[in-house]
Amino acid sequence: MVDHLANTEINSQRIAAVENCFGASGQPLALPGRVLLGEGILTKECRKKPKPRIFFLFNDILVYGSIIINKRKYNSQHIIPLEDVTLETLPDTLQMKNRWMIKTSKKSFVVSAASLTERKEWISHLEECIKHLLTKTGRQPCREPAAPWIPDKATDICMRCTHTKFSTLTRRHHCRKCGFVVCADCSRQRFLMPRLSPKPLRVCNLCYRQLLAEKKKEAEADRRQAEPLRSAAQGYEPSSGDDSDKSDDEKAEQWPADTEFYTSEVSWSSFHS
């Protein structure tokens, strides 16, 4: 199906329509070989409360954004390379049904579909595209996805100290490593996690200690790996670069003359017609 639609006019028109809906706030989406496979509205579990989001599935990326006017205007465009996506089916809750998690190395979040059938269609198409891309590129699936943020309303107390109660004056914070809802006292530390951001991010005290321990362990491993090289170099005297008191004739006599020194909300079916 992808090969059949890749260079068709209808595919180009559909992609152009998506670009027009995002307007100047979105990035260009048309690329050679890129195909729009389907679209639909899913409920995304956000920090404050679940919110509807428009999702577009292409053969190589997943695009989603906020709905201003359905089928006419969207904003807050997010583009996720499918090579970085893994999926996990989740059980229903009292508030949300037909849930699954979209996990990537930079951000993970939970979405839900309007029906079980719709969820199966989304997951089936996503998995098929991901499998095809990984086979094509030879890459491995994401092995260390970012932790999803637990919604604010999931707890009224800090999930680390378990005694600080949140209120209008006592703010909720999220640890960028574990996603827990924590108080300010339990998340005063910052740690650099290049996979997530070029700047140090807020982490809870427990994750901070774990990250420090991991960093120390990595430094120790690097030191041990470099130790044989340092030991091998101890038997050699470094050159000073200065001329010695010996004459050129005396230096020449130290080496044989022959020595060598130098030797690296549209139904899926509507897109198939």
Q: Which residues pair with 186 in a beta bridge?
A: none
Q: Which residues pair with 63 in a beta bridge?
A: 56, 79
The reply to whether 11 and 112 lie within a common domain is yes
How far is 152 from 47, CA to CA, in rounded Å? 6
Percent of the chain's residues with pLDDT above 70: 82
What pTM, to 2 d.p., does this model score? 0.76
The reply to whether 182 and 57 lie within a common domain is no
pLDDT band at 223 (very low <50, low <70, confident <90, very high): confident
The reply to whether 80 and 186 lie within a common domain is no
Query: What CATH number does residue 154 fall under?
Result: 3.30.40.10
What digits encode the pLDDT tens for the residues 13-62? 999 999 999 999 999 999 998 999 999 999 999 988 999 999 999 999 99
Q: Domain of 192?
A: 149-222
The reply to whether 76 and 103 lie within a common domain is yes
The reply to whether 171 and 80 lie within a common domain is no
In a domain, 264, yes or no: no
Query: What CATH number does residue 54 fall under?
Result: 2.30.29.30
What digits encode the pLDDT tens for the residues 103-149? 999 999 999 999 999 999 999 999 999 999 999 888 888 888 999 99
pLDDT for the residue numbered 144: 87
The reply to whether 115 and 154 lie within a common domain is no
pLDDT for the residue numbered 157: 96
Q: How many domains does the chain have?
A: 2
Which of 94, 117, 137 corresponds to the end of one domain?
137
In a domain, 162, yes or no: yes
pLDDT for the residue numbered 229: 62
In a domain, 177, yes or no: yes
CA dihedral 45, 46, 52, 58 (to 10 degrees): -80
The reply to whether 8 and 133 lie within a common domain is yes
CB 188 within 8 A of CB 164: no
Average pLDDT over residues 221-246: 61
- Does position 199 have pLDDT exceeding 90, yes or no? yes
The reply to whether 28 and 93 lie within a common domain is yes
pLDDT for the residue numbered 257: 46
The reply to whether 101 and 160 lie within a common domain is no
How confident is the prediction for the chain on average, in pLDDT? Answer: 85
Choose between 154 and 247: higher pLDDT: 154
pLDDT band at 251 (very low <50, low <70, confident <90, very high): very low
In a domain, 262, yes or no: no
